[in-house]
Structure formats: structure tokens, C-alpha cells
């Protein structure tokens, strides 16, 4: 004889998480009503694989210097890379500069609000497009990141991990949590994301503080170990090509004149890895070769 686990009440899960978010959500600058679509777009790109605590001060400096897409577009791409400093994944700075240029020249300096147009901007993927449409303009769309996927996997599906991402499946799962009301849907997207970020965390979930602990399918099942497919884990940073690329970029950012090949030689001892990292920077447009050395774009 088998027993079936009751399907959790998704609308109640969403309601409880929204109520929790109203009381416990962090006061982050991009959640203020007057923050604006440009600020939200910049924040979403900066927040990709970068902790909130590192983004907040850099975001404030960025928006003070470039308060609009046109302001950023008027600067050289290298200025964006230099201002990005140590946020990581500096290709995002070039993508943001390219997107700002299109917004300024094609969209009259106004960040688009519909997902298809946002997706047409350079470097803007599905998550960022949906996040801007929802958080800047209040449109009704599911927004899914790693934190959202984890909450749904545990609370709704009864699994300890979300497994590899699937855009179609993940969006459909989040859509089922969203109420019809646009304001409530907006709040639900933000609330589920926040719960995953600060309570339903990957390694040490704080279940006793969770507003849906009594409805959580994973908790009800006794926290079974996850046995499904796992997402590919990124190689560690130390000793990686990413680290070498970062060291070379740091040299370029710190110099107002071209950095010579001899100076780059001093950055990393392994010549093969150093040349591979430099070639990657040149290919990605993050560095430009000149007769006397290398500079930012």
C-alpha cells in the first residue's frame, strides 16, 4: 500500500511568504519606489553572481557617475570596465555599456518595459529582462533565479535541491505561485527570491524561521537527501584562468598608459595560462592591443 503526499497549497505558500517579506525583507536601494528602471537594470546586471554587500556601494557610485543610459553611452567602454573594478565577470560592464548605447540611441534614453524588447538589448538574458519588466514596471511575469528555484524545489516539490535549471519548467513552476493581481505578483516574485537568499539557503536553511515551514513538502518528508541530477559546479577561482584574467585587467585598470607585454609577464608565472587569459580578454573586447602594449577598450 502506498501513500500520496498532498500537494502543498501554492496560493497559501505565496501569501505566507509575502507577509513574511513585508516584515523581514531587507531595505535594499533597488526596492525603493523612486529607484527607476535604469537603476534596476544596472542593479540586476551587477547582482549576477555577485553578493549584495559588494554591489550596493558600487551601484551608488555607478549611478552617481552615469545617472542615465545616455550618460554611460557617452563614455568609453573602457571607463565602464574600469569603474566595474572587482565586481567580477567584467564582460557584464561591456554588455551594460552596449545596452545603454542602444537604449540611448534607439529607445530615447528610456529603458524598455516589455520582455521581447529588453531581450533585444545586448547582453540581456531572460532573467534580467523579466526582472526589469516586473520590478521596474510592475508587469505580471514569473522571475526565477537560483534562490527561487531552491524554495520551489523544497517547499513545493519536496526535494532538497533544484537540480539543473530548465527555463520552461522553472518559469511554469513560479507562474503557479503568482496571484492574478499584478501588485501581489510583483511582491511574490521579490518575496520568494528574498526567502531563498536569507532563510532557505543552500547549505544551512533556517527552517525554524521560515514562514512556510508547516507547509514545506521537504520538511514534511523528513528532509530526504537529494538524489537527482546536479547542476555543474564552477571550478574554484584560485589558480583558474578567471583569476589570471582578473589580474591582467587589474593592471590595465590601474594604468593610464598602455601596459607593456613585459609588465603583463610579471602578473602570472605560467606563460601558457597567462597567454590564454590575455587572448581571452582580447577576444571578449575587454582589452585592446596597441603598438606599445595593452589598454582597456
Query: Alpha-carbon distance 92 to 84, whole Å?
Result: 9
- Of 4, 23, 44, 64, the active-site residue reads 44
Query: Alpha-carbon distance 180 to 12, whole Å?
Result: 14
For the question of residue 64 being annotated catalytic, the response is: no
Non-local (6+) Cβ contacts of 89 within 8 A are: 48, 49, 50
What string of H, E and C letters represents the secondary structure of the chain? Answer: CCCCCCCCCHHHHHHHHHHHHHHHCCCCHHHCCCCCHHHHHHHHHHCCCCCHHHHHHHHHHHHHHCCCHHHHHCCCHHHHHHHHCCCCCCHHHHHHHHHHHHHHHHCCCCCCCCHHHHHCCCCCCHHHHHHHHHHCCCCCCCCCCHHHHHHHHHHHCCCCCCCCCCHHHHHHHHHCCCCCCHHHHHHHHHHHHHHHHHCCCCCCCCHHHCCCCCCCHHHHCCCCCCCCCCCCCCCCCCCCHHHHHHHHHHHHHHCCCCECHHHHHCCCCCHHHHHHHHHHHHHHCCCEEECCEEECC
Could you tell me which of 174, 167, 112 has the C-alpha nearest to residue 140? 174
Active site residues: 44
Amino acid at each position: 500500500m502506498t501513500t500520496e503526499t498532498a500537494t502543498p497549497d501554492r496560493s497559501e505558500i505565496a501569501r505566507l511568504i509575502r507577509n513574511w517579506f513585508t516584515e523581514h525583507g531587507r531595505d535594499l536601494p533597488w526596492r525603493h519606489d523612486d529607484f527607476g528602471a535604469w537603476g534596476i537594470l544596472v542593479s540586476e546586471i551587477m547582482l549576477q553572481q555577485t553578493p549584495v554587500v559588494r554591489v550596493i556601494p558600487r551601484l551608488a557610485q555607478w549611478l552617481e557617475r552615469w545617472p542615465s543610459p545616455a550618460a554611460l553611452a557617452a563614455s568609453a567602454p573602457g571607463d565602464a570596465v574600469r569603474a566595474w573594478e572587482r565586481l567580477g565577470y567584467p564582460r557584464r560592464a561591456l554588455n551594460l555599456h552596449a545596452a545603454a548605447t542602444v537604449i540611448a540611441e534607439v529607445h530615447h534614453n528610456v529603458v524598455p518595459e516589455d520582455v521581447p524588447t529588453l531581450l533585444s538589448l545586448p547582453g540581456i538574458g531572460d532573467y534580467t529582462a523579466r526582472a526589469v519588466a516586473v520590478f521596474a514596471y510592475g508587469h505580471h511575469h514569473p522571475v526565477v533565479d537560483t534562490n527561487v528555484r531552491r524554495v520551489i524545489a523544497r517547499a513545493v516539490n519536496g526535494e532538497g535541491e533544484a537540480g539543473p535549471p530548465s527555463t520552461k519548467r522553472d518559469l511554469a513552476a513560479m507562474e503557479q505561485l503568482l496571484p492574478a493581481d499584478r501588485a501581489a505578483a510583483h511582491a511574490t516574485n521579490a518575496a520568494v527570491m528574498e526567502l531563498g537568499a536569507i532563510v532557505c539557503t543552500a547549505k544551512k536553511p533556517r527552517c525554524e524561521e521560515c514562514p512556510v515551514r508547516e507547509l514545506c513538502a521537504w520538511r514534511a518528508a523528513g528532509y530526504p537527501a537529494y538524489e537527482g541530477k546536479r547542476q555543474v559546479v564552477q571550478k574554484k577561482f584560485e589558480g583558474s584562468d578567471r583569476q589570471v584574467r582578473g589580474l591582467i585587467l587589474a593592471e590595465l585598470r590601474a594604468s593610464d598608459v598602455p601596459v607593456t607585454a613585459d609588465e603583463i609577464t610579471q602578473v602570472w608565472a605560467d606563460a601558457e595560462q597567462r597567454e590564454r587569459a590575455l587572448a581571452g580578454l582580447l577576444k571578449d573586447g575587454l582589452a585592446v592591443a596597441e603598438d606599445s602594449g595593452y589598454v582597456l577598450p
